[in-house]
């Protein structure tokens, strides 16, 4: 499989390294509007062909699939161009900045018969995959309550750099630069994590979003710091279960932690991804009478990168698919609407 990487910012390095590790995959081209960044990226990863635009790369055409690692607001237009040219697409999340655009992309790639998958990176957690299997197998009985959080702290600490002076962070805080804030950036991860891990679909959302003052006039250079920094949402699932889902970039002491607790009629399961480390615990059987939690072993799982390559070779999309990402985007859109209306919003 010949792969083109579109966008050569920070996350593109993970794409290049991960795809190059897969036997039979060649990263044959890179695309970026910033020549210096493109040259450095292609040099680091040994990529032979450089393009200043996707149109230029498509005119060349000597590749099978595109890894779309552009900023959120660019996903829609560039992915539609790639689909029209007959390419498979592996897109960074979110698929688009709203559900209408995401569904348009979904319908386009399904009509074209091409593979379309989205990089929900935390699907790579073996604890999540094993925990979901246990829930679906009925090991905790019918799910009644879900508790999920995604906690980061880069607005508090400098472990990932100084957000006040680096554009790679500042754009995430600015609506006009295409950001939907913490909701769009990490909210999409924790909603997927919670829904996938519990095996449930969201039916109603009641949400609150908060943007904190972070600089004089809420502005740094060209960046208006108006995108949300934290959110909470109460949800009803289609089964009748209820839950809470929250995320923030202001949780000092938490670099990147996703935690999901699924409570059922006969037991509970906790799935944790914490800055690269997965943990799975459960309270099952007789342990529920003593509130005893035990660690659950799990095996390594295939990554999204590996699943995408398998899907292209087989000609059949695997999860997480464009359609899945579009449905998760509907939840985020309803969260935005709920914050504005101060009302419960139904997904139907």
Residue 270, CA distances (Å) to 2, 127, 132, 231 in order? 39, 9, 10, 21
Backbone region of residue 161 per phi and psi (left: phi > 0; alpha: psi in -120 to 50; beta: other values): left
> Do residues 117 and 130 both lie within one domain?
no
Answer yes or no: is 318 within a domain.
no
SS3 label, residue 61: coil
Residues 96 and 168 in one domain: no
Q: How many CA atoms lie within 13 A of 73 on its CB side?
A: 10
Q: Mark whether 80 and 215 lie in a shared domain.
A: no
Per the structure, the count of domains in the chain is 2
In a domain, 344, yes or no: no
The pLDDT of residue 193 is 98
pLDDT of res. 167: 87
Residue 156 covered by a domain: yes
Please give the pLDDT value at position 168.
Answer: 84
DSSP-based three-state secondary structure for 122: helix
Same domain, 137 and 94: no
**Is residue 308, in this structure, part of any structural domain at all?**
no
60 and 199 together in one domain: no
Last residue within a domain, chosen from 57, 89, 121: 121
Q: Determine, yes or no, domain membership for 332.
A: no
Last residue of a domain, one of 121, 136, 153: 121
Q: Provide the domain limits for residue 65.
A: 2-121
Q: Point out the residues of the chain with pLDDT beneath 50.
A: none
Sequential DSSP letters for 221-264? TTEE--S-SEEEEEEEETTS-EEEEEEES--TT-SEEEEEEEEE
Closest CA to 195 of 247, 254, 151, 135: 135
Partners of 150 in beta bridges: 247, 258
Q: Are 265 and 144 in contact (CB under 8 A)?
A: yes
* 27 is a domain residue: yes
CA distances from 292 to 5, 185, 262, 287 (A): 47, 35, 15, 5
Kindly list the distances between the CA atom of residue 166 and the CA atoms of 157, 161, 163, 173, in Å, as whole numbers in the listed order. Answer: 14, 8, 5, 11
- Does 276 lie in the same domain as 179? yes
**Does 325 reside within a domain?**
no
Q: What is the pLDDT of residues 71-106, one digit of tens each?
A: 888 999 999 999 999 999 999 999 999 999 999 999
How far CA 128 is from CA of 18, 131, 274, in Å, comes to: 20, 5, 12
Looking at the structure, tell me whether residues 164 and 280 fall in a common domain. yes
Nearest to 123 by CA among 268, 321, 316: 321
Looking at the structure, tell me whether residues 220 and 280 fall in a common domain. Answer: yes
Q: Which of 79, 100, 121 is the last residue of a domain?
A: 121
Q: Which residues, including other chains, have CB under 8 Å from residue 314's CB and lie 6 or more apart?
A: none
In terms of Cα–Cα distance, which of 336, 325, 347, 340 is closest to 96?
Answer: 325
Q: Are residues 117 and 186 in the same domain?
A: no
Q: What is the CATH number of the domain that holds 224?
A: 3.30.360.10
Q: Residue with structure tokens 């959302």?
A: 205
- CA 242 to CA 207: how far, in whole Å? 14
- Shared domain check, 148 and 52: no
Looking at the fold, whether 112 and 208 belong to one and the same domain comes out as: no
DSSP letter assigned to residue 183: I
Do 71 and 131 sit in the same domain of this protein? Answer: no
249 Cβ partners below 8 Å, 6+ apart? 152, 153, 154, 155, 182, 186, 229, 230
Query: Is residue 278 in some structural domain?
Result: yes
Give the pLDDT score at 231: 98
CATH number at residue 73: 3.40.50.720
């Amino acid at each position: 499989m010949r792969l083109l990487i579109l966008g050569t910012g920070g996350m593109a390095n993970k794409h290049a390294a991960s795809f190059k590790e897969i036997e039979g995959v060649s990263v044959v081209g890179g695309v970026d509007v910033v020549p210096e960044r493109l040259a450095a990226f292609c040099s680091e990863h040994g990529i032979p062909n450089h393009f200043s635009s996707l149109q230029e790369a498509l005119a060349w055409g000597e590749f099978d699939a595109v890894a779309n690692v552009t900023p959120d607001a660019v996903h829609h237009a560039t992915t539609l161009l790639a689909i029209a040219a007959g390419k498979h697409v592996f897109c960074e999340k979110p698929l688009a900045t709203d559900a209408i655009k995401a569904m348009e992309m979904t319908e386009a790639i399904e009509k074209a018969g091409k593979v379309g998958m989205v990089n929900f990176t935390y699907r790579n957690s073996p604890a999540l995959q094993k925990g979901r299997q246990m829930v679906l197998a009925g090991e905790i009985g019918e799910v009644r309550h879900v508790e999920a959080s995604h906690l980061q702290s880069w607005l508090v600490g400098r472990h990932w750099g100084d957000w006040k002076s680096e554009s790679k962070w500042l754009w995430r805080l600015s609506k006009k630069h295409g950001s939907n804030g913490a909701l769009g950036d990490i909210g999409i991860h924790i909603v997927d994590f919670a829904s996938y891990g519990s095996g449930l679909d969201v039916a109603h959302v009641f949400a609150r979003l908060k943007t904190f003052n972070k600089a004089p006039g809420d502005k740094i250079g060209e960046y208006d710091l108006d995108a949300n920094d934290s959110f909470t949402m109460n949800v009803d699932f289609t089964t009748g279960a209820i839950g809470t889902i929250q995320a923030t970039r202001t949780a000092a002491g938490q670099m990147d932690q996703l935690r999901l607790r699924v409570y059922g009629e006969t037991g509970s399961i906790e799935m944790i991804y914490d800055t690269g480390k997965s943990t799975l615990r459960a309270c099952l059987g007789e342990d529920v009478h003593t509130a005893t939690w035990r660690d659950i072993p799990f095996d390594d799982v295939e990554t999204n990168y590996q699943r995408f390559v398998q899907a292209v070779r087989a000609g059949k999309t695997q999860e997480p698919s464009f359609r899945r990402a579009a449905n998760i985007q509907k939840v985020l859109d309803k969260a935005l609407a709920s914050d504005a209306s101060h009302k419960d919003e139904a997904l139907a």
